[in-house]
């Protein structure tokens, strides 16, 4: 049996995160010891470590709740997880493409601004950012 501080240290999350996970159903409500402290089991440790790994993989708490719900219903969630992974890969590829375009824009803007001679204008905030670099 673990108290919240011990569980927090094992899982690498704050006690407040554990309480939050309990409130939203990611973790089941902890039993209480005679002194009123929450007590957690080895199953809670495993579940919280699973949640931590899923969060590292950028799964949302809603996704994690659905994965856990499959498991609690006695169904393996692997097909659902495979679909989530495939969707995440597409999203990441799209984000990478957006970031590459942003980097190209910034490189071009940086190069164009090297010889830039700024001047004060009542209608301009920053001529580097406002400049049209599509020339």
pLDDT digits (tens, 9 = 90+) for 59-82: 999 999 999 999 999 999 999 999
More confident residue, 112 or 96: 96
pTM for the whole thing?
Answer: 0.76
Residue 122 has what pLDDT? 72
Asked if 22 and 28 count as a contact pair (C-beta separation under 8 A), the reply is yes
Asked if 4 and 18 count as a contact pair (C-beta separation under 8 A), the reply is yes
Strand-pairing partners, residue 40, are: 2
Both structure tokens of 45: 């440790």
Q: What region, left, alpha or beta, does residue 25 occupy, with left being phi > 0 and alpha being psi -120 to 50 degrees? A: left
Both structure tokens of 86: 């495939």
Asked if 54 and 48 count as a contact pair (C-beta separation under 8 A), the reply is no
Residue 114 has what pLDDT? 82
What is the C-alpha separation between 135 and 122, in angstroms, rounded? Answer: 24
Q: What is the pLDDT of residues 1-43, one digit of tens each?
A: 999 999 999 999 999 999 999 999 999 998 898 888 889 999 9
Q: Is the pLDDT of residue 58 over 50?
A: yes
More confident residue, 56 or 133: 56
Q: What is the pLDDT of residues 105-114, one digit of tens each?
A: 999 988 888 8
Q: Which helix (H) or strand (E) holds 11?
A: helix 4-11
Mean pLDDT of 46-62: 96
Q: Is the pLDDT of residue 135 over 60?
A: no
Asked if 44 and 30 count as a contact pair (C-beta separation under 8 A), the reply is yes
Asked if 95 and 123 count as a contact pair (C-beta separation under 8 A), the reply is no
Residue 134 has what pLDDT? 54
């Amino acid at each position: 049996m673990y108290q919240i501080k011990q569980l927090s240290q094992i899982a690498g999350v704050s006690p407040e995160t554990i309480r939050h996970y309990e409130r939203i159903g990611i973790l089941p409500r902890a039993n209480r010891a005679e002194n009123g402290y929450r007590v957690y089991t080895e199953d809670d440790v495993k579940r919280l470590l699973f949640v931590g790994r899923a969060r590292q993989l950028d799964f949302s708490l809603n996704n994690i709740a659905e994965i856990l719900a499959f498991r609690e219903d006695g169904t393996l969630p692997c097909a659902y997880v495979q679909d989530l992974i495939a969707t995440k890969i597409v999203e990441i590829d799209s984000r990478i493409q957006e970031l590459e375009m942003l980097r190209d824009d910034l490189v071009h803007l940086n190069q164009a601004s090297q010889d830039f001679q700024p001047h004060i204008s009542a209608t301009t905030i920053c001529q580097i950012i406002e400049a049209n670099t599509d020339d």
